[in-house]
Amino acid sequence: MFSLYKKELQSFFYTPFAYAIAALFMLLFSYSINDGITYLTKSTYQFSFPDIFYTNLIFFLFLVPAMTMRTFADERKFGTEVLLMTSPVNVFKIVAAKFFALVTVFIFMLTLSLIFPIVTALNGHVVVSELISAYIGFFLWGVMCIAIGMFISSLTDSSIIAAIVGEAAMLSLIYVDNLAQSDFITKYPKIQSFIMAFAAQPKFVYFAQGLIRMSDIVFFISVIVVFLGWTIISIEKRRWNRG
Angle between helices 128-153 and 201-208 (to 10 degrees): 150
Count CB atoms within 10 A of the CB of residue 19: 13
Q: What residue spans define the domains of the chain?
A: 2-241
Q: Please list the pLDDT of the chain residue by residue as tens digits (243 residues).
A: 778 888 888 888 888 888 888 898 888 888 777 766 666 555 555 555 556 777 777 777 788 888 888 787 766 665 666 656 666 678 888 899 999 999 999 999 889 988 888 887 787 777 788 888 888 988 999 999 999 999 998 888 888 888 888 888 888 887 887 777 777 788 778 888 888 888 888 888 888 777 889 999 999 999 999 999 999 998 888 767 655
pTM here? 0.87
